Each structure stands twice: as C-alpha cells, then as structure tokens.
Amino acid sequence: MADIARRVGASRRTVYRYRNLTEPPEPKRPHRPPRQRVLTPYEPYLLQRWQEGCHNGMRLYREIRGQGYAYGTSNVMRFVAQLRRDETAGQPAILESLPSLCERVALVRPSPGEEVLALLLASEPGAVGQGEAPEPAHGVVAPLHPR
C-alpha cells in the first residue's frame, strides 16, 4: 500500500479508502454556471474593426478602452492572435467561429483516487506493496503522468 501511495502521490489512508471501491468516486467539483468573458461585449466591435482592416491589437485595445473596457491588454491580444491564426488558416473571422478560451484550453487530469484505484484493481491479491506495482487491468484508466 505504501508503494502505491508513493507512486500516485496520495496518503496511505487514501489508498486504503479506495481499496474496496470498484470504480472511482464522482469528482467533488462545485457546479458553477459558465461566466461571460470580459471581452464578450466588445467582440462584435473588434470583429468589425478587424474586417475593416485594423489588425493592430494595441490600437484595438485603446479603442475599446475608450468605450469602457476596464481590463488589461492580454485578453485583447489573445483575441487578435486567434483572429490572425484563423485568417492564416483561411477561416473567416466571424463571432461564431471563435471558441472561448475555455473551449480552446482543456486540461484534464485524473484525481489521485483514480490512479490509486487503477493500481489496486490491477494488482493480484497479496501483491500490493511487494516490489513493482502492476500495470492497470484492461479497461482501467492508467495514470496520465508518471511521477
């Protein structure tokens, strides 16, 4: 058990708690409604100016700042960079074609409990804690990142 705990970066108590489970527990993530991005109200204007030929991110930032945008340049620069990438790829710059940053960046990492459970389910009875931990059984999620 201690070997599994070290491998997955969890406490031995967690390993023992997951030992008798047949599948990982549901993640304990609070339900939060999706938030509107701070740039959303200004995107139609930015697209209009882009289509008019203004491709300078700093100039676009100054223009929307004059309209009440109260945040930093990085959001505008990221938006303009995406427009440039879309234009290079031959995609038209329309509002519906621009996925939100959350949709573009999806980082998924399993909980330590899934790794513990995978190692426990794959192990032979009595083999846990003796030498190398076994490979996960068929259909069991293996750890994404070795530690």
Q: Is residue 63 part of a domain?
A: yes
For tokens 């513990």, name the residue: 116
Q: Is residue 34 part of a domain?
A: no
Please report which helix (H) or strand (E) contains residue 136, including its range: none
SS3 146: coil
Kindly state the percentage of the chain with pLDDT values over 90: 31
Whole-prediction pTM? 0.45
Q: Is residue 121 part of a domain?
A: no
Contact 131, 5 (CB under 8 A): no
Mean pLDDT across the chain, nearest whole number? Answer: 75
- Whether the per-residue pLDDT at 46 is higher than 90: the answer is yes
Per-residue pLDDT, averaged over 95-106, amounts to: 45
- Whether the per-residue pLDDT at 103 is higher than 70: the answer is no
Report the domain count for the chain. Answer: 1
Contact 24, 143 (CB under 8 A): no
Cα–Cα distance list, 139 to 24, 38, 112, 118, 121 (Å):
13, 41, 17, 9, 10
- Whether the per-residue pLDDT at 110 is higher than 90: the answer is no
- Whether the per-residue pLDDT at 30 is higher than 80: the answer is no
Regarding predicted confidence, which is higher, 2 or 108? Answer: 2
Evaluate the CA torsion angle 27, 28, 32, 37 in order and state its sign: negative
Q: Residue 23, exposed/middle/buried by CB under 10 A (0-12, 13-18, 19+)?
A: exposed
Per-residue pLDDT, averaged over 25-39, amounts to: 79
Domain that holds residue 72: 40-104
Regarding predicted confidence, which is higher, 65 or 26? Answer: 65
Contact 133, 8 (CB under 8 A): no
Regarding predicted confidence, which is higher, 28 or 5? Answer: 5
What pLDDT was estimated at residue 139? 47
Please report which helix (H) or strand (E) contains residue 5, including its range: helix 2-8
